[in-house]
Amino acid sequence: MNLPERLGLCALHRLDPERAHELSLRMLRAGLAPLPGVITTRRLETRLAGLALPNPVGLAAGYDKNAVAIRALARTGFGFAEVGAATPLPQPGNPKPRLFRLSGDRAVINRFGFNNDGMDAICARLARRPPGFVLGLNLGANKDSGDRAADYARVLARCGPHVDFATVNVSSPNTEKLRDLQGKVALAALLAAVMETRAELARPVPVFLKIAPDLDADALSDIAQVALSSGLDGIIATNTTLDRARLTDHQMDQSGGLSGAPLFEKSTRVLAQLSQLTDGALPLIGVGGVGSAEQAYAKIRAGASAVQLYSAMVYQGLSLVPRIVRGLDALLAQDGFETVADAVGTGRTNWL
């Protein structure tokens, strides 16, 4: 991290976290952030559910909720990005304050509650996206919807023509009873509706499912079975956690989903379990606590075809992205892997 970026982060950390989040997006759009462009090598080139990625390091949903900084994000070094979550109708989300830095734990707690501008406004921005950058949309449901399961299909039908993949997010802990949709029967019905909508798109896109890290072995097995039988294209493991074990920061008891460094081990174990349950039949995207090239590599060796990150940038800045991408390339080369795909799952047993 260079001096200007270090000073910029210090300034942002003097602000309320949500205000800093909004300001960082403005700075990114204004070009006041490292923008190295596409970073790739023959080793890093990755195929994910039919998508061609220059590298397997992506931006997780939640940073650019309203798709306002896509053009700049395409130049940050990420191999792909996911925006949203988008819901059919605009909604303000939960009352503020709802975002907390746990600096002592290198973690973040949020209870945003799917605050976003709604699918129509987001769709208009997606329609103006730059070409050549793999972009996905996280699908959500309105808090007061009479049929939350149908909301996912509605957003996909509206925005699907303008994205490269879509993610069904039933794992946010910040919308009451949303995680109930991860149950076997409810999830199968929801995914059936989403996949039917996907089939009606002029250009069907891969559909992923984002799951929670707080599922027991039986629930994970059920999700794997539903995912395999539904025609789903992949699973993102994992969303934020409700677990507060081993935290030290004074804000540890704030309600909401915890992300960042403390989530790494838990989410990676879930990832490895899913890799074993699906036996390579579905690509997995590893997210949760990635803050270094070594951690990205560990996710890949645990079974991920690609990884995503977000919270680590709060503490290490946007220059973290090219550092992870280039470091991952070096680690693959060091261990004699010619491609990312060659490394996927080779260290899975370490996490089981």
Residue 280 Ramachandran class (φ > 0 left, ψ -120 to 50 alpha, else beta)? left
Catalytic residue among 172, 259, 267, 305: 172
H runs (alpha helix) in 110-216? 119-126, 148-159, 184-200
Residue with tokens 């070409």: 131
The three-state secondary structure class of 141 is coil
The three-state secondary structure class of 192 is helix
Q: Which residues contact 244 (CB under 8 A, 6 or more apart)?
A: 252, 253, 258
Q: Read off the amino acid at residue 111.
A: R
User: What is the β-pairing status of strands 234-237 and 165-169?
Assistant: unpaired
User: What is the β-pairing status of strands 46-48 and 51-53?
Assistant: antiparallel
Distances from the Cα of 278 to the Cαs of 4, 82, 93, 186, 343, in angstroms?
Answer: 45, 24, 35, 20, 17
Nearest alpha carbon to residue 50 among 136, 128, 126, 131? 136
Query: Which token pair is 153?
Result: 């299909």
Nearest alpha carbon to residue 64 among 195, 176, 163, 170? 163
Q: Active site includes 171?
A: no
Cα(114)–Cα(154) distance, integer angstroms = 16
Active centre residues (catalytic): 172
